[in-house]
Amino acid sequence: MIKFSIIVPIYNVEKYLRQCIESVLGQTYRNLELILVDDGSLDKCPALCDEYAEMDDRIIVIHQKNKGLPAARNAGIKKASGDYLMHLDGDDFWDVNYLEKVQPIIEKEKKDVYLGNSRYDYTETSCQQVVLYQMENAQGKTYSELLNLFFSGMNYMPSGICHNIYKTSFIKDNNYYLNANLTWSEDADNFFRIFFSTPNIGFFDYTFYYYRKDNQNAMTRNPKKEHLLSNIRVNKTWFYYVKNTNWDQKDKQVVMRRFANANMYLLKIMDKLKDIDYQIVANEIMKEKEMLSFIHGYIPKGIYLSSQIIGCRNTSRLLNVLKK
């Protein structure tokens, strides 16, 4: 009988934490451990974690000084004793039937990694399903076909760590911990490390994850300079990794274009940076001439052309106006 380890990194989310924890404890499939990693929270989260641990012996609490999200996830992975592990952010929550739905799939196939194909974008007033990929386009496909599915055009990649399920021994034995030096896109970085190294991947199409879009303190709402530089670092690292593989040239081109385009799309979310920080980030994007040569598609090329004519800052302002 499969045991699941659920890792929840926690930092100043007391408003949402009870719903998060109870969505796990209320799972219809009961063989689990819930690892709550209090990453130096300054609110009531530490006390809430301890309160729930006293109520349910499946809960393990880790209190640590603030080290950042990747380090908090890693602390949970190291503590995990289940057969498979998954991640849940402290301001999000699960459908209560999640583990019961995926357990038979895993029991039958026993893959190293399972990629979820959807989530709910949730606010207090709305709930919208977001489908990352269609199951029929993923199951039974070759590795080349999967590369094209996930990396071509504007297709979604199932790179968010909270969408997926991982065999615990596979992660630990191969040292697939998150890079604690990254402040953003660390889960995407981890996804690329895993996806580019193992063909033993399964898929499931049950929508279980409620991603809270109305948390005003969420990092994705107001990224800072260091977050954007972290994202650029990830894009650059894997662009050049793929360049140096022995993959088919067409596959390489598809993936490298995706990383080049990703840097262009950062101009859409940089507008709120101070001028000095903006310039640092823009310079980091524009200095990668080889990556720029792989920009592909009308929108990314349009963003790049605009940046060359009216400048990056004015392009970001224009994109922000068009977004509204």
Give pLDDT, residue 324. 63
Give pLDDT, residue 144. 93
Give pLDDT, residue 122. 87
Give pLDDT, residue 218. 60
Give pLDDT, residue 211. 94
Which mean pLDDT values do the consecutive 10-residue runs of the chain (324 residues) have? 97 97 98 98 98 98 96 98 98 96 96 93 88 87 92 83 96 97 95 92 92 70 89 98 96 96 95 94 97 95 96 94 75
**Which contiguous run of DSSP H or E holds residue 33?**
strand 32-39
Give pLDDT, residue 8. 98
Give pLDDT, residue 17. 97
- Name the DSSP letter for residue 30: -
pTM confidence score: 0.93
Give pLDDT, residue 216. 58
Cα–Cα–Cα angle for 67, 73, 74, rounded to 5 degrees: 85
For the chain, give the number of residues.
324
CB-count exposure of residue 65 (10 Å: 0-12, 13-18, 19+): exposed
Distance CA 33, CA 165 (A): 14
